[in-house]
Amino acid sequence: MPFDLDRFLADCSDAAEAGHPRALREVVARAVADPAALVARLGEPQRAGVQKLLHRPGLTVLNLAWGPGMTIMPHNHRMEAVIGIFSGREDNIFWRRIETEDGPRIEAAGAKSLGARDCMPMGRDIIHSVTNPLGRLTGAIHVYLGDFFAAERSEWEPETLTEQPYDVVKNVGLFEAANRRLAQA
């Protein structure tokens, strides 16, 4: 059965407006249950990047492609999210805040690897880092219960694990660097 993007976005909107993260997870799970249908509608990922499918104050839906071997440092969203994979793999490390003699830091608290057809909800306070461990692009649907682009968020410096404001320009640059590596492969 073909993937109906308009129906998917309407279902995401309905779940978001009703304030039901569990219902939103079911919407995304249904979408990624048939990866071939998603690829037929959205296309096989060709470049690392972020495509806005829907963006408004209470809801952001993204078609995201992770570049081969790409890693995004620990970060938060400050809103609930649901991640569904339709191609490739996304490895997540989850982090928790700790107090040290040198001040607040984070430490690893768990991990989850997601492949095609997998779907995972994330609470508003989750801190995670993401890696595509494959030598090819990974395609994912990311749905956020909020304005992903306007939210004040944090990221953590990968070596010292200290918190700092999320740097959108730097993170967009990570996708472009992944595309340069992809073009050279």
| Least confidently predicted of 2-6, 15-19, 68-72, 163-167 | 15-19
Check whether 159 has a pLDDT greater than 80: yes
Alpha helices in 134-184 (DSSP H): 168-184
- Cα 17 vs. chain centroid, distance in angstroms? 21
pLDDT in tens, 105-148: 999 999 999 999 999 999 999 999 999 999 999 999 999 999 99
What percentage of residues in the chain have a pLDDT greater than 70? 100
E-state strands within the chain: 49-56, 59-66, 71-76, 81-87, 89-100, 103-115, 119-122, 127-131, 138-144, 154-156, 163-165
Q: Which pLDDT score, from 0 to 100, does residue 34 have?
A: 96
* CA distances to 8, 46, 48, 86, 132 from 182, in Å: 30, 10, 9, 20, 13
Q: How confident is the model at residue 97 (pLDDT cuts 50, 70, 90)?
A: very high
At the second CATH level, the architecture of 5-184 is Sandwich (2.60)
